A = this chain, B = another copy of it.
Amino acid sequence: VRRLAIALVHHPVLDRDGAIVTSAVTNLDVHDIARSARTYGASDYFVVHPIEAQRGLVERIVTHWREGSSAARIPDRKEALSVLSTVPSLEAAIERLGGRGAVELWATSARSRPDSLGYADASARLAEDGPAVLLVLGTSWGLAPEVVAACDRVLAPVGCEARGDGFNHLSVRAACAIMLDRLTSRR
């Protein structure tokens, strides 16, 4: 079984007009994705933000739940947040996993592509031996094309194939939970 990690990218991401922007941290992205990551056995959840004050905000939230009054009140949350760390860039997350040669990057996208990696294939690959897999998720309107291009594979979108009308407006928190559930179904 390969090591599975998650990166939530706040820059470079797209806004609704397709411009490259930096998004703000969302409190429940911190909690929900850490909870899903720990439940499904991901080793790491990297919150990627280039702005130090935004990383500091995340660390303050995490410290409250790891060491503050809430750590005693809800020990499961402390445990979930133990997988979270902040990094200034995707490169820093890759370094933390042992460098580019030790990690395969799987981008995620709400758009279908001809060469998308499907979940049956992806979960079988995860169950084999091999380098760590870093699941790269974008905030706002999704990862900038340059980030997707730098990844090894792009996972198929979740949600939209289930219905005919093509409506797909899952939150990144929901999409991440569904992906983890599908990817680890063979474990």
In the complex, which residue of chain B has the Cβ closest to the Cβ of A168? B39
**Interface of chain A residues 7 through 61 with chain B (CB within 8 A):** 16, 28, 31-32, 35-36, 38-41
A79 at the interface (CB under 8 A from B): yes
* Residues of chain B lying within 8 A (CB to CB) of residue A178: 177-178, 181
User: Known contacts being A74-B16, A182-B181, is A39 close to B170, with CB within 8 Å?
Assistant: yes
Q: Is there an interface contact between B171 and A32, defined as CB atoms closer than 8 Å?
A: yes
How many chain A residues touch B (CB < 8 A): the figure is: 37
Closest to A178 in B: B181
Which residues does chain B contribute within 8 Å of A173, judged by CB atoms? 28, 32, 171, 173-174, 177
A174 proximity list for chain B (CB < 8 A)? 32, 35-36, 173-174, 176-177
In whole angstroms, how far apart are the Cα atoms of A158 and B80 in the complex?
16
Minimum CB–CB distance from A45 to chain B (whole Å) comes to 13
Residue A40 contacts which of B32, B38, B163 (CB distance < 8 angstroms)? Answer: B163
- The CA of A16 and the CA of B70, in the complex, are separated in Å by 13
Q: Are B40 and A169 in contact, CB atoms less than 8 angstroms apart?
A: no
Encoded as 1 (CB less than 8 Å from any B CB) or 0, chain A from 52 to 81 comes to 000000000000000000000110110110
Check A131 for interface membership: any CB of B closer than 8 A. no
Ranked 10 nearest A-B pairs via Cβ = A174-B177, A76-B169, A39-B159, A162-B184, A178-B181, A32-B171, A41-B163, A28-B28, A35-B169, A36-B174
- Interface residues of chain A, those whose CB is within 8 Å of chain B, are 16, 28, 31-32, 35-36, 38-41, 73-74, 76-77, 79-80, 158-160, 162-163, 167-171, 173-178, 181-182, 184-185, 187
